[in-house]
């Protein structure tokens, strides 16, 4: 599966061992990572070449979700204002156009 973040970085940030017996499991963590990847791509329009900004946002989303699940709390995965600023800056640097900026009407 393609992702921006590295599972080893995520494991280092969560403070417990992530394996097949943990809550969430390593497989669940990979699925969460894929969900974060799709959320980011939905915001910026499509998959991009990984860079530090995309990696940081995805890692933050995945770590927050894993910790919430581990602590038996609900965690709706959402981009924060800080995440959106980082992604907007990324889109500006890459000269990308957000799908929200496209006009679909007739002149």
Domain boundaries, the chain: 7-101
User: Are 44 and 87 within 8 A, CB to CB?
Assistant: yes
Write out the chain's pLDDT in tens, 107 residues: 689 999 999 999 999 999 999 999 999 999 999 999 999 999 988 878 888 999 999 999 999 999 999 999 998 899 999 999 999 888 888 776 555 554 555 55
DSSP-assigned letter for residue 45: S
Global pTM value? 0.83
Nearest to 11 by CA among 32, 26, 27: 26
Which value, to the nearest 10 degrees, does the dihedral of the CA atoms of residues 29, 77, 35, 30 take? 0
Residue 95, exposed/middle/buried by CB under 10 A (0-12, 13-18, 19+)? exposed
């Amino acid at each position: 599966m393609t992702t921006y973040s590295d599972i080893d970085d995520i494991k280092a940030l969560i403070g417990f061992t992530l394996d097949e017996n943990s809550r969430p499991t390593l497989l669940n963590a990979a699925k969460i990572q894929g969900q974060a990847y799709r959320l980011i791509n939905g915001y910026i329009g499509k998959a991009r070449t990984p860079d530090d900004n995309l990696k940081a946002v995805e890692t933050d989303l995945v770590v927050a979700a894993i910790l919430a699940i581990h602590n038996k709390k609900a965690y709706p995965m959402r981009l924060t204002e800080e995440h959106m600023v980082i992604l907007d800056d990324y889109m500006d640097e890459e000269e990308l156009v957000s799908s929200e900026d496209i006009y679909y009407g007739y002149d």
